[in-house]
């Protein structure tokens, strides 16, 4: 009996199917720009920003604002000191001033107040009364009424006084025209008078409305 010969030839070994690698998607490179998409008018920004250096400022220009501030401050301080030493006379309408002379009452006087001195007044008569009374000075704080001289100082063209100058001749202790002066300081009025002249300051009213 013939033996059947087994075929030793082996067929091709089946191989596992290879996993197909995913196809690589063509992703645009962020650094590259397609020629058709290039914007000529707006070039792409570079990674490093270019700074244009500013010209250096001189030291004088940097300090100029400080110099201006210091100069203004010194000018203001100097002006305040000048006003304190030599205050100018500012014409005012308060209080209401009237005087009695020769049996008639009149209000044609000029009243001044030194700047930065709210309690002092200077009264200028329209003419020399009894050939001697032209200027009076009144200090409410010291309660003094005095016969004064015309202010001789000037501050930017205005009459001014010196704070250190004397007020004048104190009427309360002077005897003029053969009579003594009577000086009274009330809450709402100041009155000084002698046998020839009487001056009245009404604190509650002013000359702008004729004392009403």
The domain spans of the chain are 89-209
* Contact between 65 and 179 (Cβ < 8 Å): no
Give the three-state DSSP class for 84: helix
Half-sphere exposure of residue 61, counting CA atoms within 13 Å on the CB side?
Answer: 4
Helices and strands, counts by H and E, the chain: 1, 15
> Would the pLDDT of 21 be above 50?
no
Q: Do 172 and 145 form a contact (C-beta atoms < 8 A)?
A: yes
> What does the pLDDT read at residue 2?
47
Q: What tens digit of pLDDT does each residue of 43-94 get?
A: 555 555 565 555 556 777 777 888 888 889 888 898 888 888 899 999 999 9
Q: Which of 125, 118, 135, 120 is nearest to 171 (CA)?
A: 135
**Residue, of 4 and 77, whose pLDDT is higher:** 77
pLDDT at 124 over 90: yes
Mean pLDDT for 175-202 is 92
Provide the 3-class DSSP secondary structure of residue 61: helix
- Rounded distance between C-alpha atoms, residue 141 and residue 92, angstroms: 18
pLDDT of residue 125: 95
The percent helix, strand, coil of the chain (3-state, each to 5) is 15, 30, 50
Report whether pLDDT(134) > 50.
yes
Whether pLDDT at 147 is above 80: yes
Give mean pLDDT, residues 116-131.
Answer: 92
Residue 30 in contact with residue 44, Cβ under 8 Å?
no
- In 3D, which of 171, 188, 79 has the Cα closest to residue 123? 171
List, in sequence order, every residue forming a beta bridge with 92; answer none if it has no partner. 111
pLDDT at site 44: 53
* Banded pLDDT at 208 (limits 50, 70, 90): low
pLDDT value at residue 14? 53
Share of the chain above pLDDT 70, in %: 70
pLDDT for the residue numbered 63: 79
Joined tokens for residue 170: 């104190």
Q: Higher pLDDT residue, 5 or 110? A: 110
Neighbours of 201 (CB within 10 A): 25
SS3 74: helix
**pTM score over 0.85:** no
């Amino acid at each position: 009996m013939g033996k059947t010969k087994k075929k030793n030839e082996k067929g091709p070994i089946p191989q596992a199917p290879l996993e197909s690698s995913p196809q690589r998607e063509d992703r645009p490179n962020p650094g590259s720009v397609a020629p058709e998409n290039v914007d000529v008018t707006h070039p792409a920004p570079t990674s490093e920003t270019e700074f244009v250096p500013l010209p250096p400022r001189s030291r004088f220009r940097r300090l100029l604002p400080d110099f201006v501030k210091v100069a203004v401050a010194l000018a203001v301080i100097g002006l305040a000191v000048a006003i304190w030493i030599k205050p100018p006379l500012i014409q005012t309408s308060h209080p209401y001033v009237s005087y009695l002379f020769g049996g008639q009452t009149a209000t044609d006087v000029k009243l001044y107040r030194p700047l930065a001195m709210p309690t002092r007044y200077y009264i200028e008569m329209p003419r020399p009364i009894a050939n001697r009374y032209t200027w009076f000075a009144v200090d409410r704080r010291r309660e003094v009424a005095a016969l004064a001289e015309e202010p001789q100082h000037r501050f930017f063209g205005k009459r001014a006084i010196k704070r250190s100058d004397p007020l004048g001749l104190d009427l309360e202790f002077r005897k003029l025209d053969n009579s003594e002066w009577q000086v009274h300081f009330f809450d709402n009025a100041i009155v000084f008078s002698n046998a020839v002249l009487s001056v009245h300051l009404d604190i509650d009213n002013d000359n702008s409305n004729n004392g009403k």
